[in-house]
Amino acid sequence: MIENIVSIVQENWLLLLIGQYPNGPLGGLASTFILSVLSIVLAFPVGILLALARLSPWRAVLWPATAFVYVARGVPLLMLILWVYFMVPLLIGRTVPGFVTMLVTLVLYEAAFLSEIIRAGILALGRGQMEAARSLGHGYFGAMRWVILPQALYNMLPSILSQFVSTIKETTLGYVINVPELTFAANQINNRLLTQPFEVFAILAIVYYVICWSLTKAATTLERRIAAKRAGTRRIAPELRPQALTAEL
Amino acid sequence: MSVSQDAAPAMIRFSNVNKHYGQYHALVDIDASVSKGEVLVVCGPSGSGKSTLIRTVNRLEEIDSGSITFDGREVSGRVGRADLNRLRSRIGFVFQSFNLFPHLSTLENITLSPIRINGVKKDLARTKAMALLDRVGLAEKANAYPAQLSGGQQQRVAIARALAMEPPAMLFDEPTSALDPEMVGEVLAVMKGLAAEGMTMICVTHEMGFAREVADRIWFMDAGRILETADPETFFTNPQHPRAQRFLSDLRH
């Protein structure tokens, strides 16, 4: 059984890693990785904007943002994927590659969840920080940029990281619209071998588990460091400080 | 350094200011002014409207009617966003709970606003911040984070942060109320230094020793009104209003 797994990996490692690239589209783990990272990176600024809109006193931004977040959080991801898959080509009048469909869906979906995390982070700071920034003469957005968001995002890093873990797991649903990623590659192998589904999907499970477990572990470590910083017990290395985090925004 | 009310022009003027929180009338017909260079202490029982009053000056609280001017310019009413931000940068505000930015070092707390708002060059902002830290006696804490400082030290940094914008006036909202008793003195010493340099100050405080020693004038407030205005000597030895008499006698017991 173990030997079977090892031999499947030995024979198919390239397919699992990059799909049929360069003879076909990039797939496998590389595609999963790119899809996850792009999703979260693009969802991040959208999530911040949504969070700010949800905290806004103006109904014109508050209501649409709230409606969007409620809908995105309230429907199954698979339904959202199928909706984007069938509706977007109708709306723009041409077909869209599965990868792009999946990316758009994940960005919208993750942005809704991230916005709730970021909103909670902002609300948790309390009024004093905003008041202090405003009393020094910062405008609303200046106060957000330099005082509120660096703290809110930094405090929420563990949650943001676990959202990233969810994103990785959610890329597997790309399978239903034929996005060439890791699950898709595993299924290709399974279809070819026919008799060893347990072994093939065990490989799949192990790969996802290792990736997600290490990221969860990283989130826990981060959480501990943040707790230590709050207690003021250790100096924070510059690369862990929030300016570094928001510099790319 | 007593400044006569009439000789010096008003730095802050309240005209018929009223404010409500729902049914509660928080500020009632406030009509008073603070002269340039004057050190004013506002005292009174809790809930009397002292904090609300000074928070209206930089519009952390909005007023319902009346007007407030700062250095001859209208604060209340329809003020453009940019004007409001500029106005706030010219009024130093010190909070009871310090409100330092915990993600920034002491030095960065002080330099953030001069750099980001006034466009001061980083090196110059740092030099000035170090001078301010020196002035509040915390030069050696420049690279420490707020969580590593005591309450008294945090409040002194907060004062330095407000001073970094070079405001012509400073407002203090119970700056020592959240401090352990042994740290009150170091903060009051910094405030005394500022007063001696001629800074216009409104201090909401329960430190009657400070009021007596440093204030040019005292406003006694209760239930949203200024009930008595007097120089410290008169206020402490011969208060006129019965509510002020009771307040002072409660303090002594």
In the chain, the amino acid numbered A57 is P
What interface predicted TM-score (ipTM) does this complex get?
Answer: 0.92
Give me the CATH number covering residue A149. 1.10.3720.10
* Residues 6 or more apart whose Cβ sits within 8 Å of residue B26: B19, B20, B49, B52, B224
Residue A233 is predicted with a pLDDT of: 52
Residue A176 resides in a domain: yes
Residue A166 is predicted with a pLDDT of: 93
Residue A248 is predicted with a pLDDT of: 35
Range of the domain at A179: 30-183+227-245
Residue A9 resides in a domain: no
Residue A229 is predicted with a pLDDT of: 73
Residue A69 resides in a domain: yes
Contacts of A129 in chain B (CB under 8 A): 99, 101
Q: What is the pLDDT of residues B90-139, one digit of tens each?
A: 999 999 999 999 999 999 999 999 999 999 999 999 999 999 999 999 99
Helix or strand holding residue A13 (H, E) = helix A2-18
pTM: 0.87
For chain A, the domain total comes to 1
Residue A127 resides in a domain: yes
d(CA A246, CA A147): 11
Please list the pLDDT of chain B residue by residue as tens digits (253 residues). 444 445 568 999 999 999 999 999 999 999 999 999 999 999 999 999 999 999 999 999 999 999 999 999 999 888 888 899 999 999 999 999 999 999 999 999 999 999 999 999 999 999 999 999 999 999 999 999 999 999 999 999 999 999 999 999 999 999 999 999 999 999 999 999 999 999 999 999 999 999 999 999 999 999 999 999 999 999 999 999 999 999 999 888 7
| Best mutation target, A127, A135, A149, A240, to test chain B (most B CBs within 10 A) | A135
Contacts of B60 in chain A (CB under 8 A): 131, 134-135
* Residues 6 or more apart whose Cβ sits within 8 Å of residue B207: B176, B184, B188
Residues in A 220-249 with any Cβ partner in B closer than 8 A: 229-232, 235-236, 241-243
Residues of chain A with pLDDT under 50: 234-249
Residue whose C-alpha is closest to residue A186's, from A213, A206, A159, A211: A206
Residues in A 80-139 with any Cβ partner in B closer than 8 A: 128-129, 131-139
- At residue A80, the 3 state secondary structure works out as helix
Rounded to a whole number, what is the distance in angstroms from the first to the last CA of chain B? 31
Residue A204 resides in a domain: no
A135, A147, A231: residue with CB nearest B101? A147
